[in-house]
Chain A
Amino acid sequence: MKSWLTKSEPSGIGFAVCEARLWLWRHPEWWSLGLSGAAWLLLVVPAASERHHHVEVGLWSSWTTEVFHWSVMVIAMMVPLIVDSIRYVAARSLWARRHRAILGFVAGYLGAWLGAGILISVALSLLRQHVSLDSMIMGGAFALAAVWQLTKAKQRAVRSCHRTVPLAPQGWRADRDCLRYGWMIGGGCLTSCWALMAACALAGHSLWPMACATLIGLGERYSVRPDQRVLAGALATLAGLCVAMALFSPR
């Protein structure tokens, strides 16, 4: 059967190209998810991780590296959580400028996170100068995230991540609106996920806490009726694992 737009029968390269193009049309978020995938790759590369753990050459160098890792972590973990908003921005824009609209939205969104990242990175760098951020502290941070998960303020914030706003159709107003919308959603996500992300940053942007936290975030965003107690329980388990590591790992 031919699809609603394909000219050719379901065989041959022409059909495959047409179907691929249709898929990309239906999923304008493809490149932002690609960006997220690239960020995960960057985190997986052991050299990146090792370099991070050996930055102790000075406060300036330390916090700029921290900001870099924070940014990579945000792109990796948070972009998959805003797929609905990215699709919304694309669908509410003129066809010719929908990827430009997404770019503006993502820039605004990451801008909000970057602002927070700079503050957190400076704080973490200062802390690292004086305190050893061990697994016990990580456990405390994830426990705080578990408590935050059960608050009404957190629920309000996660709903605000799904806000929609009218976007001007063209011109500088359209760019401004997309940027502003991204900033607004970024602010909502920041309020919603600050504890989780701060815990991941305290964990030195290690892969396994980030992977677990991402799964929890995805479960919250894409479940029909997410059970906050289950999500808080998962975070508490994460906290427990950190504490266990602190207690039982060889010194």
Chain B
Amino acid sequence: MYLFYFEQIVTAAIVKLGGPSDWALPYWNYSDGNNEDSRRLPAAFIAQKMPDGSPNPLLVQARDEGNNGNPVGDAADVDVSACLGEAAFPAASTGGDPGFGGPQTTFHHSGGVTGSLETTPHGNMHVAVGGWMGAFNTAALDPIFWLHHANIDRLWNVWRQRDSKHVNPGDSQWLTGVAFQFHDASGNAASMTSGQVVDSTASPLLYKYEDESDPLPQPTPSAVPRFAMAERPIPEMVGASSEPVTLTGQPAHARMVVHPPTGPAREARAVGAAPRKIYLNIENVTGSGRARRYSVYLNVPEGSDPANHAELYAGDLPMFGVVESSRADERQPGTGLHYRLDVTKIIDALESKGAWDPQNVRVTFAPKPWGSAEKHALSAADRTSDHEIHVGRVSLYYA
């Protein structure tokens, strides 16, 4: 809804300057598989000068990546297969799937896991572009923020359209419980509720995206929801690490022992209720300074480069908001970020090869490179060392 008001305000300025009244906010589709330049920042955002020779206000020097015309991030940063593959909008209870949109929270956001869309590509691209985009409080200062979020909204539509069971929450508290406050193009105070924007084709939004096609193959029968929403399985923890892990920009590992399930997961298997799903939880991720992104792998052999084991790649930790969510204040408890990664296919494959040893499960955190060419905006401390990130625990859940 903030995009709606932003678009209104920009359109009013454009019209005032003699531009078209039907101007619309563009979206940056960095996941477009048919466009090899999709991860490059649009040309208008990296040009040094405007056509009249004046400085380009769309160029932000503080960006870590993209200003030199190179692609931003890597393919994993813009991979939408995990988020579009989510069966449900809200996350399952603790430990289970992260949902397309994340958990239902109350005011405190305690233990709140990031939803699948929010993690990748949303968080990844924030941190990959970096600079102002890399932090909660400054992200919207970079004009590319608005195109990034227009694309996130578009992906929401893609998710809804790819399966008739992909529906928004119907909870009245979510739809109308909170009125968000804005200012419109005239500078007047305005408010809006979620219920007014859940259908982007209806008034007041009336959006029509150029491309809402499904970039993934249609869901296979096993990928469709395995249960009615009211009957989601109870996730059961089967293993967790005993010690925290500190990430310092080098590969790091956590170990855990996985126990046979003894509760609902065991019984679900006994009655053949549904194919099991397995989620790797990365809990209480905290840090006090700017952090890089990490890729997570499961059971990479000792001494092996994780990059050579795409089959063991579980997902990315974008770390977007890690500083803010680690800060205890009157708005939040400061318990950090929480991620849930679907590792069902990895473990199934390891089991089928006889390579799954529940007594020795190893989680590897591999740092992703920072944009090297444009680190000029970082402080000296940022350039020379990584800020430490602490991972409280890793755990495995059957659901």
Closest partner residue, chain B, to A159 (CB atom): B333
Interchain CB contact under 8 A, B237 and A93: yes
Bound CA span A159–B327, Å? 11
Interchain CB contact under 8 A, A156 and B329: yes
* Residues of chain B lying within 8 A (CB to CB) of residue A3: 231
* B102 located at the interface, meaning its Cβ lies under 8 Å from any Cβ of chain A in the complex: no
Interface of chain B, main secondary structure: loop
* B98 located at the interface, meaning its Cβ lies under 8 Å from any Cβ of chain A in the complex: no
Interchain CB contact under 8 A, A95 and B263: yes
Bound CA span A1–B273, Å? 13
Closest partner residue, chain B, to A155 (CB atom): B330
Bitwise interface map of A from 1 to 41 toward B, beta carbon under 8 Å scored 1, else 0? 10111010000000000000010011000000000000000
Closest partner residue, chain B, to A93 (CB atom): B237
Interchain CB contact under 8 A, A159 and B330: yes
Bound CA span A190–B59, Å? 50
* B321 located at the interface, meaning its Cβ lies under 8 Å from any Cβ of chain A in the complex: no
Bound CA span A49–B239, Å? 48
Interchain CB contact under 8 A, B237 and A163: no
* Residues of chain A lying within 8 A (CB to CB) of residue B264: 5, 25, 95
Interchain CB contact under 8 A, B284 and A166: yes
Measured between C-beta atoms, what is the minimum distance from B138 to chain A in Å? 23
Measured between C-beta atoms, what is the minimum distance from A62 to chain B in Å? 38
* Residues of chain B lying within 8 A (CB to CB) of residue A166: 244, 283-284, 392-393
* Residues of chain B lying within 8 A (CB to CB) of residue A158: 108
* B42 located at the interface, meaning its Cβ lies under 8 Å from any Cβ of chain A in the complex: no
Say yes or no: A225-B259 contact (C-beta < 8 A), given A4-B232, A92-B94: no
Of the residues A1, A25, A222, A223, contact of B234 by C-beta under 8 Å: A25
Q: Would you list which residues of chain B between 44 and 80 have a CB under 8 Å from chain A?
A: none
* A87 located at the interface, meaning its Cβ lies under 8 Å from any Cβ of chain B in the complex: yes
Closest partner residue, chain A, to B392 (CB atom): A166
Of the residues A5, A93, A165, contact of B284 by C-beta under 8 Å: A165
Q: Would you list which residues of chain A between 137 and 159 have a CB under 8 Å from chain B?
A: 152, 155-156, 158-159
Bound CA span A168–B332, Å? 24
Bound CA span A7–B256, Å? 33
* B164 located at the interface, meaning its Cβ lies under 8 Å from any Cβ of chain A in the complex: no
Of the residues B274, B333, B392, contact of A4 by C-beta under 8 Å: B274
Between A25, A222, A224, the greatest number of chain B beta carbons within 10 A of the residue's beta carbon is seen for A224
Interchain CB contact under 8 A, A91 and B93: yes
Bound CA span A164–B335, Å? 6
* B238 located at the interface, meaning its Cβ lies under 8 Å from any Cβ of chain A in the complex: yes
* A133 located at the interface, meaning its Cβ lies under 8 Å from any Cβ of chain B in the complex: no
Say yes or no: A26-B234 contact (C-beta < 8 A), given A155-B330, A159-B333: yes
* B123 located at the interface, meaning its Cβ lies under 8 Å from any Cβ of chain A in the complex: no
* Residues of chain A lying within 8 A (CB to CB) of residue B274: 4
Measured between C-beta atoms, what is the minimum distance from B96 to chain A in Å? 9
Bound CA span A25–B286, Å? 31
* A57 located at the interface, meaning its Cβ lies under 8 Å from any Cβ of chain B in the complex: no
* B85 located at the interface, meaning its Cβ lies under 8 Å from any Cβ of chain A in the complex: no
The list of the 10 closest CB pairs from A to B, nearest first, reads A162-B110, A166-B392, A95-B263, A166-B393, A91-B94, A155-B330, A162-B108, A169-B240, A164-B111, A163-B333
The residues of B with any CB-CB pair to A shorter than 8 Å are 93-95, 106-111, 173, 177-178, 226-228, 231-242, 244, 256-257, 259, 261-264, 267-268, 271, 273-274, 283-284, 328-335, 392-393, 395
| A-B contact list, 7 entries, CB within 8 Å | A4-B226, A5-B233, A5-B273, A25-B264, A166-B244, A167-B393, A224-B173
